[in-house]
Structure 1
């Protein structure tokens, strides 16, 4: 009998025979189940695992992983994951047996990935290497957590080395003011850029905004959804993380402008306000950046600019992170290096504090 009760311990035990990828017979014993039902459920899952996953090719387990995880994530998130796996992972690991992949195989794969180039011949960003390795690791973690794979070989190796460092571009307030002065105030793009810069919204959050999200009396906007287009299909979904759900207070002067703007549009309560595409928004950004003579940046860099401005104004990482929907303070602190001269300013202010505390008096070196 494969499932039996341990009278001494008062628990249930599973003892089942199975064949590995070389057709050799092994016995698997698992103890400590509180009920027979739990023991039978584990046995069924284990048999399923041995027949479909461990001991089989990696690409077959990818199919199992897809069945398990695809319904649980946003379509756009899954499409991005699937692209990475299809182009960067399956070509190397697809025909290898899942439980035979060792850390040395991961290192060989890393070396291959590190040699890959983008279409224009440039290196991938170091952050992209991290994303690729994380996707591979998540597949092995799934096998360990739910299909009794002994360990995740990705955890035993270092991250992929190399890649170009991630660059953050941003506009200072003066640069944004020069830029926005060239955008017609009657254009929907004018208000889109204003919301992105002064409220720190993501593009998808901006495009999802409806009239009902605004409270012009309280001068706030509710961020509770995001808009994306996947393979030509418009999709409105919840933000990626719980922290993305937030209420953003709008500067009063901007709030008044937005209120007048939406009144002229005469949109319905649940109708999207900013209906331009990401491509159109980017084209307008580049057009007016060129006309105004400021450095060309991406649309998402307006969000970076907002965070940078708030840091420079002296707001705490907690306050900034809550406003822009960062998942953790660590993400907010990552922006701190964007300010040229900040280290010098810190040193100057510390020097001032030190002089006041110790009564320091400058000495002319020539008089010594």
Structure 2
């Protein structure tokens, strides 16, 4: 008589966990291996019993997150909550549209199922709408940051953006350098309403927010320098002060004699008196200035005009980088290269014009 053999069902691999242990720094720690990965849970509770409860709660939360979370929209929302306090409001405004578009496209997909090919198709399709290289690059960067966060939180092992290529042939947007006529308008209109703002931008190269945050205490007339150490940003029209986000942002720039004459005697915020201007007040002031002076350049173009002054004065790129507050040397070199290429074009046009005039005389 044949005996039946009992077949044991394979057990599902369980998560292994160690006992909770006290650490030298006073905290308690417990290690648990989940899906082959060691995950550590920490508690600052003072008693062992309270620490155990705290860690048990953390483990339940983690298990629930792993079970439900892996959808892109959930991970993206977690990244936003974690990231938004670490960056400026203005930076987030630049991310917001790309974040929203990514969530609309990948929202219900599980992050561990999104492959490089999926991201490549998304980026290629986005670029096909005529966006500039810089815009497409920003869209990819936002996606990459979300996936980096997913790696950090244990949702995935690799970033699918790593191998994605930005399509070739996209336009590279460069701001036109202000011409000589525009620069002369800025100089001539210094005494117009808000003309000093444009004049100061031209001869310091400060960013708009840096100049709006400038006070009389930042100006050293004796040493002939302006201390750049803060900036204004706006939330719902109201000004807020922030410190530079990089070491390069905190710097001293030259106080030229022509500018010192105009700034002497100012008190408080140079543009705003007892407090910085609101965003709407700034826009109205600039629009009025543009109407009265005929100046058509933007504040940021005047920053590039200052870079042109540095270029013409023979200031080397490294020194220009310090004066402009660029954290990346390449940014300064790109501006200098743009200036050089623009000058070559102007030189060609001048030479071509002279040659045409000479040929005209010979023919007569």
CA–CA distance in structure 2, aligned partners of residues 63 and 219 of structure 1 = 48
What does residue 244 of structure 1 align with? 249
Q: Distance in 1 between matches of 2:178 and 2:91?
A: 29
Q: Choose the corresponding residue for 2:124, options 91, 111, 116.
A: 111
C-alpha deviations, 1:164-184, integer Å up to 9, x for none? 321221224564124431x26
**Which blocks of at least 5 consecutive residues in structure 2 are unaligned?**
1-15, 21-28, 44-51, 348-364
Q: Is the 8 A contact 1:46 1:147 kept in 2?
A: no
Superposed displacement of residue 73, structure 1: 2.0
Judge conservation of contact 1:65–1:139 (CA < 8 Å) in 2.
Answer: yes
2:251 touches 2:325 (CA, 8 Å); kept in 1?
yes
Q: CA RMSD in A?
A: 3.6
Q: Return the match for 2:232 from 211, 227, 231.
A: 227
1:145-156 equivalences under 5 Å are 145-147=152-154, 149-156=156-163
What does residue 366 of structure 1 align with? none
- Is the CA contact (8 Å cut-off) linking 2:132 and 2:170 kept in structure 1? yes
- Structure 1 residues 163 and 46: alpha-carbon distance in aligned structure 2, compared to 1, 3 A threshold: farther
Distance 1:319 1:141, change over 3 A: same
Counterpart in the other structure of 1:297: 297
**Equivalent of residue 202 in structure 1, options 207, 215, 226:** 207
Residues 85 and 218 (structure 1), Cα distance of their counterparts in 2 relative to 1, 3 Å cut: same
1:77 aligns with 2:91: yes
* Matched-pair contact (CA < 8 Å) for 1:133–1:160: no
Q: Report the 3-state secondary structure (helix = DSSP H, G, I; strand = E; otherwise coil) of the residue aligned with 1:239.
A: coil
Q: How many pairs were matched up?
A: 312
Per-residue CA shift, 1:127-184, capped at 9, x if unaligned? 1111111111111112223435200000111124454321221224564124431x26
Residue 130 of structure 1 contacts residue 160 of structure 1 at CA under 8 Å; is this kept in 2?
no
Q: Quick check: 1:16 aligned with 2:30?
A: no
Contact 1:209–1:274 (CA under 8 A) maintained in structure 2: no
Q: Matched residue of 2:161: which SS? A: helix
Distance 1:314 1:267, change over 3 A: closer
Matched, 1:60 2:79: no
**Equivalences for 1:117-266 in 2 at 5 Å?**
123-147=130-154, 149-172=156-179, 175-181=182-188, 183=189, 185=191, 187=193, 189-260=194-265, 262=266
- Rg bigger for which structure? 2
1:169 touches 1:301 (CA, 8 Å); kept in 2? Answer: yes
- Structure 1 equivalent of residue 283 of structure 2: 279
Distance 1:249 1:202, change over 3 A: same
In structure 2, relative to structure 1, the CA distance for the partners of 1:68 and 1:269 (3 Å cut) is closer
Whether the aligned pair in 2 keeps the contact of 1:114 and 1:161 (CA below 8 Å) is no
Residues 315-349 of structure 1: CA distance to partner in whole angstroms, max 9, x if unpaired? 1111111011001211100012223344999xxxx
Counterpart CA distance in 1 for 2:301 and 2:271 is 30
Instruction: Give the aligned partner of residue 333 of structure 1.
Output: 333
Residues 197-256 of structure 1 show CA distances to partners (whole Å, capped at 9, x for unaligned) of 110011111111112211222222211111122222321111232211111121022112
- Quote how far apart the aligned CAs of 1:268 are: 12
Cα distance between partner residues in 2 of 1:202 and 1:247? 13
SS in 2 for 1:143: helix
